[in-house]
A and B are shown apart, each in its own frame.
Chain A
Amino acid sequence: MTLTVPVEFLQASPYFADMNVSELDSVAGLFFEKKIDKGDTIVWEGNPGEALYFVASGAVKCFKTSEEGKEQILQIVLPGNSFNDVAVFDGGPSPTSAEAMSLVGLYGITKRDMEKVITDHPWLLHNIVQVLSAKVRHLLDLVEDLSFRHVISRIARILLEYADGAGPKPKLTQQEMAALAGTAREVVGRSLKTMQEDGLVRMERNRLVISNKDELVRLVNSHP
């Protein structure tokens, strides 16, 4: 039988950790595969959560949009990680939209099939609690950042987090940096200019070079 999702992919996912190969084989058969073009929307905020998705390649941004059209990115999902979990488990609408930041490869499982997997393997709930707890922790960090940190520190933190080195990272527009930092695009432009004047970063056309990492780290920690 040819499976759309490699068993190794599921094995590496915290969702299916500790499943044996024959169990993984049967779960793998329930997955479908999707290729999404850059800029296309995968999930719309407010729509029913029909499937749980795992990113196989590329990057997906999950964001909320205000009535005025302002975006707040809650999470950028990289290969191996999932999105649309909350809507699939609580049966409510999707709390965020999800858009492909590059050509994206996805593995998906419908809500109904995921429920079947859990019914057949109830101990998986333990794994799911772990996955959801990690997501809550990430969101709490974001709330802390938005509430207590000065905007320039938030931007500095984003630059350090999305610099290459620690695995493949998506490129970011100034608009996306603003949507991650909960601020306006112009503020990002001004902050980058200040950082450049202070010798922390250098703009080389479409490359943003962190030239003084230690000072940038200090900036992240200087406005707690």
Chain B
Amino acid sequence: MQPRLIRLLIASRFSRPLIGVMIFVLVYSVLMGFFVPPEAVQMGEFWTYYIIGITAFFLILMTMIGGIAIMKSDLDYLFTLPLSRRELAVSFYITQFLATGISYVLLFGYVFIFIQGTSAEKLMLAGDMVLIGLLQTALSIVSFRLETRQKALLAGAMGVYALLPLAGFSYSFTSIFTGHILEGTIVIVILNVIFNYLALTQLSTIELGFTKITSIRSSAEYKTTEKFVGLSQRAAIVRRYLSEISFTGRFNLGGSVSVRVSRIRLRTLLIPVAAIAVVYGYFALIFNPADGSPGVAVVLSMMYLGIFIPMFFPEVFSHERAWLAFSSMTAKNYWTYIVYAKVIQTFAMMLPFIGVNIVLAIIGVSGAVNAIIYLGMVLPTSPLISLYFSGKYSPAQVIDMETLPAEFSLRQLATLVPVIFFTAAAIVSMFSIILALVCGAFFITIALAILMGNKRWNRIVYRLTEKGFV
């Protein structure tokens, strides 16, 4: 074991302030777990659905966007050093855990508030959560070499398996949350042994396989091609940006910077979105309180959309090329057309949810009308606000798809500030229809104000260039 190697890896990947915040949140979470009484948080039996849903979500996410926190400099310098493969693998595993698995451990506090049982059981559960974090880490490593379809299969299998305890099945890792701590723990241990074995094997051969990984993972040609001949400027930009979807992997305090762009047709994207919307509708119906206040399922779902949707946009621009885009068109027009495409994309993704909410509103589910306003007025402004924010405060450009642009830092998390606004707006919108409309008007006004003004967009271009964007 080489502590110096681990220190080097951590220091070259995480900035100090970020590590500070990670430690703070961990301590906060643990303290909260011990001192906040369950009565203080009104979740009722929805809690079980919630924690199991989150667990499934994390595992799916990590498997789908999994990658190894290797940087270009590692390939050029570190791997050429005479270090033992095992030590390298273990050190990489630890940094990988800090970048991915730790996000699950940070949930610890929230879980501990609600868990009932003897102290032995509680202790076991605490250990299980760390183990699920390790499982998450292993999955993110293992999935790195898989093709998209294989990844989706693995992610889907883990997701379904995680959800089974909701149907009364007690031999899943999430059955620790439905009162079957022993069975759940056994499953967790078995899965950990399998996936961590695969992950460590993979890490210990990583430098040999690196060039191969890029070719295994995806083919050298696109299956579908887009035609741009004969299109106007706007039509060309809209066609490209409607078929590209990016997602910022800076989703947790582990700061796993993963800037992924996939090409996926809007039609194809709408299928899973519609499925999720139907599941949402089901839970909103079940957890519809009699007193007329918005149900916990509606509130949480809107909050999660408020967190999730804006995260599609900060990196939209990271695959742009200033030398091509802004030497061809004025900055304002180029940005405007991208935003136009992304607003259409967001609207399309919201439509299934809006549809479900209309049905819910007719049935009389409380909060559904507020949700329609939020989904139709507030969230569609998120592409513009997120894009502007990241362009102004933390622009990043991805030149080489397979390696990380830089270390994880707090500044990168700044691009996620709009997420806070949209989450807050989701909560505020739930109080009353009037407040929801006020929120809608407010966000639309801000968005229009940003869109006006030529100078603003030129200034962003200068800023990008000064940051080394080409």
Do these two chains interact? no
- A residues apposed to B, CB below 8 Å: none
- B residues apposed to A, CB below 8 Å: none
